[in-house]
Amino acid sequence: MQFFIDLLTVSDSTLRLATPLLLACLAGLFSERAGIFDIGLEGKMLAAAFFSAAVAFVSGSVFLGLLAGIAASLALSLLHGLASITFRGNQLISGVAINFLAAGMTVLVAQSWFQQGGRTPSLFGGARFESLDLPFTNALAGLPFLGPIYAELISGHSILVYLALACVPASWWVLYRTRFGLRLRAVGEAPEAVDTAGISVVGLRYSAVMICGVLCGIAGAYMATALQAGFVKDMTAGRGYIALAALIFAKWRPWYALYSCLLFGFLQALALRPDLIEKYLGFHVQVQLLDALPYVLTVIILAGFVGKAIPPRAGGEPYVKER
């Protein structure tokens, strides 16, 4: 029974920690399916985390904070779109520049506004997303096995966790069951064919970049107003890069993105409970090693799967309209 309880605890942490990765992974999926590589996921999440926490603290409303985070992420997405779509610049350099800009700007503005060493004050009450109890939680809690699974694992998360999970089938439906999704995938494979059909390549790519911005904004806001109670310097801690690795591992498919992000989330959750490894496997593992596991897996995926996972053919290439 104790093993079941420990498994539920780790699974619950896995879901919470995988949520920002999943949102960022889906954000990159839309962008890269349209042919725009986006290394700037990290910077967008970081900017969204800061502005969502700052506005939520000042206004006392977490929903205003969420809107502010999405707006900040959209502004950086627009900047990336201008550089890579309108001016046909190098998409990788643009993404790296966004990461540097967000890393410096968030700390500078936070120190200027709050004078707390580059962080925001702690959030309380209506400035944070609270956990939600789903219907029948109390009624089912007493049932063996099913009750704890429903009460501890399925129920009790913030609304953004459920939104992230809902985004997976929604992304699959948009990409594979709508005309917009068909055109979006086509513009990442053969933009000249889309242009020949009289459809705006620029418009579709900007749409994908804006969707990416919204999802990154939600991911950043979740980290600062739900997963934690405020913004701290570099709080994304490489999650944008991990999301890119998960995207490659998932071969740019929404359902596979869910599974790969849960894997990374599980490794992060395991780092929070190193005692369980010693308890059930009988050997001690350094906490630092467990903390490094998601990043080690990121390097392994990038080294071993980049050649095998085939990205959209027009990815990373600016489109020049034939005259």
How much is the pLDDT for 307?
Answer: 54
8 Å CB contact between 96 and 119: no
8 Å CB contact between 243 and 65: no
Sequence-distant (6+) residues with CB within 8 A of 237 are: none
**In this model, does residue 192 exceed pLDDT 60?**
yes
Q: Domain extents for the chain?
A: 2-130+138-237
- pLDDT, tens digit, 9 for 90 and up, residues 75-110: 999 999 999 999 998 999 999 999 999 999 999 999
How much is the pLDDT for 304?
Answer: 65
- pLDDT, tens digit, 9 for 90 and up, residues 32-57: 999 999 999 999 999 999 999 999 99
> What is the spatial distance between Cα 139 and Cα 170, in angstroms, rounded to a whole number?
30
How much is the pLDDT for 60?
Answer: 95
Q: Which two tokens stand for residue 169?
A: 């089938």
Q: Which has more confidence, 302 or 162?
A: 162
Q: What percent of the chain has pLDDT over 90?
A: 67
Range with the poorest average pLDDT among 65-79, 192-206, 270-284: 270-284
At 9, the amino acid letter reads T
